Structure 1
């Protein structure tokens, strides 16, 4: 038994405020009932909603900035040297899996290590070194194959609260011997640049420790951080030990990142045939420098060969297309008597804005909006027009849509945007299939297998007392997350009967996404033919059309005196875009294939060539492009659902250990094994496949075994 440990005093945590729903402003106008019995071409319909208040930033009151380290004490083990390798050791073979060594309760680096691995789909084990003894059998299986292709230390010494190491001298010796014999790299996510338990050839500079700095790549460091542009990475809220290189016999140290004074913050080093990488800045999965470094750190650790992939996505869904929507009056903070509806000119401008985004940001050349449309607000008899038809068309929006339809992805949002939490089967089916028919008559290129219900209704986030009599009313019923088991079975059946496979869910609702797998979707527990694709909300609210309205709504929540005050002053629009693009950047970097959703109001051309939606898109992509060259993907909804479903099946197979791989490094041949039938497999580093960044990625199905050649970096 290992000695027990108290909660570590070195905890580094970043706690984001939970998402919550805030009621929309009260309206001075009477509620308007949506057209529930009309036909396409007879009514524009109305969409009503509620403001989803998204946490605007980190909870700074809970963020320590003094996760301090020091020279560690390593207790002497019972052995003087490493255990001998087993007689059958196959040192050229390692499983495609990573071992995370943790110091136990309160380990400030464990969340970072796990998050990094999950984002890329890399299988891993965690060993709590405060409780479990590390031995050669931990590292080498009975056949002599190495169990791990890489080792992550949550801190370089695996610090316990008293600054002793959770591993003793014998355990460190075993670890180092394994790394040398099996050519396994070691990554220390955060460490003190000293001599214990081993010397990296770095020394801390007295009085230089800080919690705010920046990290600049040194020449040649892009061999490790191949995706970074070279722009310094901002470091905030993270204790940092700037260092100098120290000449140490047998150690070759190569700096990777330095601070503004040229002091080292990250470096690789070699000793006795072992390769190590040490970062002297504390990490957390919600901090920008961690998110930006993670891809390069993991690719270095695995030599660019691993199960899974890290791919980045950016998609903006626009809900309620064709309908009229609530419209905020920023002076009275009530809803206007006249709802807002997009014009032909708005959409012609949006098409051009989208083209400008594609041209301005090479990393997002494939970006395009997805329009979640409600055909009950269209007029199928409106003539096609490629300029604003004015009064010559009964509905200019429909006329222009027929012209620009190929510029966007189109997703079924039901015909009339009715609330579907309590709805009979025939009505639910009619709402879905009639909208498909309208889309076909308009010539829209539909993501036919995908569906977004109004307010994500029908999925158990609802008023538990709802009796179904207000499905078509502008009533913001109080919602509770009752779980997916309270989904409306009629909606699920109607969706399946309409050939729908992928159903949008709300990432701000706990039951609508899988916390155990942050890049997975959710197979619906009540109907295996329905797969949920979580979508991110944001703080561009559903009833605002220009910056004045946007800031009035936002500041009514987060400014001093608001319903959930957070900032110390009312933000202006530029500050707002800066904060919101931070959140968008976070979602891109975490590798989840989840769209963001906005609303038709946010597409209004409030100034020539400008809309709230495109302002947010540009601000987010500007920030991303400043740091990274990795392309961001925008998929059609049907393709997105298929990608996410395959990824989820693969991740669940890895979690159950029914999918594994072994790398024979003499021949660079990877053997993939599935023990539970055919399963999707993604392999980064294959010699064949689709290029992404600096690596080739192969996607295939495996049943039993398959062999793939790889090209390590």
Structure 2
């Protein structure tokens, strides 16, 4: 969808009316007020869209202009700068362009931007541009390269690591998901002789011993440009790795918004048993949709040895799992085994090694009462046609009984967190189009503040009575598989066509599911196909500043322990990409919910025009409404009232803070001060328009089918 002038995600309301003055008449940058907002000039391509998405996710304000719209505003000196209270104001702290010059020849708009950038020391990002002298680089035909960079392992240079990309370990792998699809295209070239050009990310130029720049800084004519010569979309790993550094470079590390690399994993059904997939019946005996009279449930349940493995794995990885438990699973097991339950005994002995979440006592379905006489099931109804809902008392008993069982066992449970079985009680389409009306009342009865939901059904959080939902990403490691061959068999059933022996589900739902070209090998399909794909999807969430937890099931930690290769792939892969100053952030559900809630409040405040932020020299001021936390990222050395600001992460200081009854005032280190040299040079030509660049079709975000509950 094409967009005209848009202040996206974070606007500070209408700009203060003032007399506009030409940017070239402004005083030096050190004396001016610079608003903390980015100008994104888009041509509708994937590169500028990706940068805008990064700003969205972090909570950084920006205004977007769509060059394809005839009714867009004109970029002139008055659009870029004015005066406020007698002080010159630069309305944007950085400029993002589709390339180094997307305007026609002799464009007054490009001239205005160039003059604005020189006057106020405003950096410019060329989101994807051709390697050419106007961008500080040789043409690729002179010993460079133009073409695919699929599978290339680029490298952050020493300058990049000591500069904006210091959070990376060094290698930047480019995706190569399909040998038949061109996924990445780049221009690799070396700096022009005499150009003040510093490569930050390079790759080998094929057929030569030289390396060409993919990302570099070009200083010229009193301006600074970040020159990016490869195309990307918002989902590709190479962009996700570099996005933080692009924003850090354009803002000098001073901007509203904050981001982390989050990863949390919930393990559902602990103490209970999960029914096993039947490869002959192609269903799961014990489930409501497996109605074969000869179907006999075959339970999968962890052992004490599996607990020991989980404990050792966590200690080695420095990572904590969240265990969603069902107390009745242990009670039933003891009744069937003369009071013995080695699994529960071992878990209780190691209880402090994990985080624990109430998953209801019996894992009962808490929505409508299910009529399983038909497939798929439907909601049972009363004689008058109204829905027969599970009662408030029944829901409350499931929550309270499990809490009490956990307390008796000594589990360190947060009573405000809840995961219902199958996320039930919440609406489930198509059968149950609304929440169980008794759910909110039962949550209030039990003091529930955070309620898990399925991100594949509802990607946004919402309130349910006193609780706020926390969407969880399902991992495509099935709840009914304890062995790799079972996982592959069910995967083949779902993701192959009827002609190849599958269910045809993928054929019936082409918008959300892609059919495999052929069934996976039962012996190798899990390791060779499923694990790499699930690792890629989960790591993509980690790199996207997405705090939502992932969820698997206790069956996946039993028998073949099939979850660990996926989790190891995420954590080990992450460790090879990021420096020690950028660790994975592993939060429990309450803290994840708080993060999402803060983001929602911040979004509402800024969209209502209640937030103003600017810097003058080394003093930064942010005004916001009482009670709304402010996300901000600042350089190391930034202080608030003499104390270090926020937390250190990825080489900067960042986090949430409140302004209380007065504006938030931060003092930046002297190294973050803008240039103090006045602009005395005359006008500089903006250069010839950039040539058209080849933009191959972007790669779609991988699908993450639900994994059940």
Provide TM-score, normalisation by structure 2. Answer: 0.76
Contact in 2 for aligned 1:82/1:171 (Cα 8 Å): no
Distance 1:278 1:415 in 2: 57
Among candidates 216, 221, 231, match of residue 155 of structure 2: 216
Matched residue SS, 2:626: strand
Among candidates 583, 586, 607, match of residue 655 of structure 1: 607
Contact in 2 for aligned 1:97/1:147 (Cα 8 Å): yes
What are structure 1's unaligned runs of at least 5 residues?
8-80, 159-164, 359-364, 384-389, 467-481, 515-521
1:118 aligns with 2:56: yes
Distance 1:448 1:538 in 2: 26
Contact in 1 for aligned 2:357/2:414 (Cα 8 Å): yes
Among candidates 414, 424, 442, match of residue 391 of structure 2: 424
- Find the counterpart in structure 1 of residue 483 from structure 2: 546
Distance 1:279 1:439 in 2: 54
Shift of 1:177: 1.4
Among candidates 66, 70, 93, match of residue 128 of structure 1: 66
1:538-617 matched pairs, under 5 angstroms: 538-559=475-496, 561=500, 562=502, 563=504, 564=506, 566-571=515-520, 572-575=525-528, 576-606=530-560, 611-617=561-567
Contact in 1 for aligned 2:471/2:548 (Cα 8 Å): yes
Distance 1:548 1:240 in 2: 41
Contact in 2 for aligned 1:382/1:399 (Cα 8 Å): no
Distance 1:620 1:538 in 2: 12
Question: Alpha carbons of 1:6 and 1:444: their partners in 2 closer, same or farther (altered >3 Å)?
Answer: closer
Among candidates 177, 202, 214, match of residue 258 of structure 1: 202
Among candidates 590, 593, 596, match of residue 638 of structure 1: 590
1:369 aligns with 2:321: yes
Among candidates 200, 203, 223, match of residue 139 of structure 2: 203
Distance 2:478 2:598 in 1: 32
Contact in 1 for aligned 2:46/2:234 (Cα 8 Å): no
What are structure 2's unaligned runs of at least 5 residues?
4-20, 177-182, 206-210, 286-295, 369-389, 507-513, 673-709
Matched residue SS, 2:417: strand
User: Quick check: 329-338 or 434-443, which moved more?
Assistant: 329-338
1:155 aligns with 2:99: yes
Contact in 2 for aligned 1:523/1:532 (Cα 8 Å): yes
Contact in 2 for aligned 1:504/1:535 (Cα 8 Å): yes
Contact in 2 for aligned 1:318/1:370 (Cα 8 Å): yes
Shift of 1:382: 7.1
- Find the counterpart in structure 2 of residue 494 from structure 1: 442
1:355 aligns with 2:301: no
Deviations 1:608-637 (A, max 9, x none): xxx112221101112222212221111122
Among candidates 500, 513, 519, match of residue 459 of structure 2: 513
- Find the counterpart in structure 1 of residue 107 from structure 2: 169
Contact in 2 for aligned 1:90/1:145 (Cα 8 Å): no
- Find the counterpart in structure 2 of residue 694 from structure 1: 651
Contact in 2 for aligned 1:449/1:501 (Cα 8 Å): yes
Contact in 2 for aligned 1:306/1:683 (Cα 8 Å): yes
Distance 1:276 1:192 in 2: 13
- Find the counterpart in structure 2 of residue 194 from structure 1: 132
1:321-340 matched pairs, under 5 angstroms: 321-330=270-279, 333-335=282-284, 337=296, 338-340=298-300
Deviations 1:329-360 (A, max 9, x none): 3465443622222222222222222222x2xx
Question: Alpha carbons of 1:513 and 1:232: their partners in 2 closer, same or farther (altered >3 Å)?
Answer: closer
Deviations 1:200-243 (A, max 9, x none): 34423368321234222223221221121112422551221112
Distance 1:168 1:430 in 2: 74
Distance 1:618 1:331 in 2: 31
Question: Alpha carbons of 1:672 and 1:6: their partners in 2 closer, same or farther (altered >3 Å)?
Answer: closer
Distance 1:493 1:569 in 2: 49
Matched residue SS, 1:580: helix
1:297-312 matched pairs, under 5 angstroms: 297-312=246-261
1:464-483 matched pairs, under 5 angstroms: 464=431, 482=433
Distance 1:416 1:392 in 2: 20
Distance 1:403 1:301 in 2: 51
Q: CA RMSD in A?
A: 2.8
Distance 1:392 1:424 in 2: 33
Distance 1:350 1:567 in 2: 33
Matched residue SS, 1:672: strand
User: Quick check: 257-266 or 436-445, which moved more?
Assistant: 257-266
- Find the counterpart in structure 2 of residue 532 from structure 1: 469
Distance 1:269 1:174 in 2: 19
Deviations 1:368-414 (A, max 9, x none): 1101111222239979xxxxxx9785222221121011111111111
Contact in 2 for aligned 1:380/1:441 (Cα 8 Å): no
User: Quick check: 368-377 or 551-560, which moved more?
Assistant: 551-560
- Find the counterpart in structure 1 of residue 303 from structure 2: 343
Number of paired residues? Answer: 573
1:290 aligns with 2:239: yes
Question: Alpha carbons of 1:181 and 1:603: their partners in 2 closer, same or farther (altered >3 Å)?
Answer: same
Distance 1:653 1:376 in 2: 45
Question: Alpha carbons of 1:6 and 1:617: their partners in 2 closer, same or farther (altered >3 Å)?
Answer: closer
Matched residue SS, 1:379: helix
Matched residue SS, 2:350: helix
Contact in 1 for aligned 2:159/2:199 (Cα 8 Å): no
Contact in 2 for aligned 1:82/1:170 (Cα 8 Å): no
Among candidates 337, 350, 360, match of residue 414 of structure 1: 360
Deviations 1:451-510 (A, max 9, x none): 11111122222344x5xxxxxxxxxxxxxxx4xxx222321221123111111111111x
Shift of 1:87: 8.1
- Find the counterpart in structure 2 of residue 624 from structure 1: 574
Distance 1:504 1:85 in 2: 56
Distance 2:472 2:140 in 1: 44
1:178 aligns with 2:132: no
Matched residue SS, 2:347: helix
Provide TM-score, normalisation by structure 1. Answer: 0.75
Distance 1:489 1:124 in 2: 40
Matched residue SS, 2:147: coil
Shift of 1:167: 8.9
- Find the counterpart in structure 1 of residue 509 from structure 2: none
1:90-109 matched pairs, under 5 angstroms: 91-103=31-43, 106-109=44-47
Distance 1:655 1:205 in 2: 47
Distance 2:351 2:105 in 1: 62
